[in-house]
Amino acid sequence: MKSKDIQEVVKTKYGNGDGPMKIYRDLAGVVSLKTIKLWIKMINNTDSINLSSTPGRPHIARTKANISKAKWDLNRKKQVSTRKLAVEMDI
């Protein structure tokens, strides 16, 4: 089940009068209770669940360019620590 599908289930269940704990139990822990409460707060404020960006820190280290450079460096050098590799790549 995709995230959008889960969000629709939460929105429907909340619209039917289910509380956050009941929704959490019905979903069997697929989504955390904290996330369900956050989505319910969004539903109350805007009547929808709009995630403009993914939560958490931005993913700057796992780009295609960095991955290919790391693979190239690892093939070139037999033993190198991840810390040294990160320093060389400015990550």
List, for residues 26-85, the tens digit of each pLDDT value. 999 888 999 999 989 988 888 888 776 666 777 677 788 888 888 888 888 778 888 888
Q: What is the mean pLDDT of residues 4-20?
A: 91
Closest by CA position to 44, among listed 86, 69, 11: 11
How much is the pLDDT for 48? 81
How much is the pLDDT for 84? 86
Distances (CA, A) of 10 to 17, 21, 38, 69, 83: 11, 11, 11, 42, 42
How much is the pLDDT for 70? 85
Specify whether the CB–CB gap between 51 and 39 falls below 8 A: no
Give the C-alpha separation, 69 to 73, whole Å.
Answer: 6
Of residues 13 and 81, more confidence is placed in 13
